Amino acid sequence: MTLDLASKVRDVPDFPKEGILFKDVMPLIADPEYFAESIRQLAEWSRPREPDLVLGAEARGFIFGGALAYELGAGFVPARKPGKLPWETIEATYDLEYGTDSLQIHRDAIGAGARVIVLDDVLATGGTARAKCELVEQLGGNVVGVVFLIELTFLNGRERLDGYDVHSLIKY
């Protein structure tokens, strides 16, 4: 029997602000069977793309990304908010509803030609995933897939990721 992953995603209305229906994956990662199944499915799609690395951003991207990288026998690259990484960094900036935000990775995190899976828990507008792809490409890496646990299809995030190979496990 396949597990219904969506049954372990909790809807939290008006978080972090009014009008946002937040998809809370904490119940899913707290359940050993559902967490393992989500990683298994992410790996099943990612493995044929033969990644060397998985890139994920804090904080939920570390949880799924670390487990996925381990499952694939790949390395993991953390993308972080400015000022968090200890060594020399490169940066990509993306739009928020009000203003902009940035993500950084270490300058030597990705070698030229490295095959990289970009991961996040939720695809909403696609802005942050796009910024992660830009980080990979700034260092000469090759984005071989962009994978999400959850896709909010009504926000058309895939349009921002035009040209990339995009996959999600749960669609709303």
20 vs 111, which CB is nearer to ligand AMP?
20
Tokens 């946002």 sit at which residue? 20
Q: Is 153 helix (H, G, I), strand (E, B) or coil?
A: helix
| Residue among 79, 124, 136, 146 that touches ligand AMP (CB under 6 A) | 124
| Residue among 4, 14, 20, 40 that touches ligand AMP (CB under 6 A) | 20
Q: Is 2 helix (H, G, I), strand (E, B) or coil?
A: coil
| Residue among 29, 46, 110, 121 that touches ligand AMP (CB under 6 A) | 121
Please provide residue 157's backbone torsions phi and psi, each rounded to the nearest 5 degrees.
-60, -25
DSSP readout, 54-83? EEEETTHHHHHHHHHHHHHT-EEEEEB-TT
Does residue 97 have an active-site annotation? yes
What is the x/- site pattern for ligand AMP, positions 130-159, by CB under 6 A?
----------------------x----x--
How far apart (Å, rounded) are the C-alpha atoms in residues 20 and 12? Answer: 8
Q: Please, are residues 30 and 10 in contact by the beta-carbon 8 Å criterion? A: no
126 vs 145, which CB is nearer to ligand AMP?
126
How far apart (Å, rounded) are the C-alpha atoms in residues 109 and 144? Answer: 16
**Does 22 engage in binding with ligand AMP (CB under 6 A)?**
yes
**Does 128 engage in binding with ligand AMP (CB under 6 A)?**
yes
Does residue 60 have an active-site annotation? yes
Of 37, 60, 151, 160, catalytic: 60
| Residue among 127, 132, 144, 167 that touches ligand AMP (CB under 6 A) | 127
Enumerate the active-site residues.
60, 97
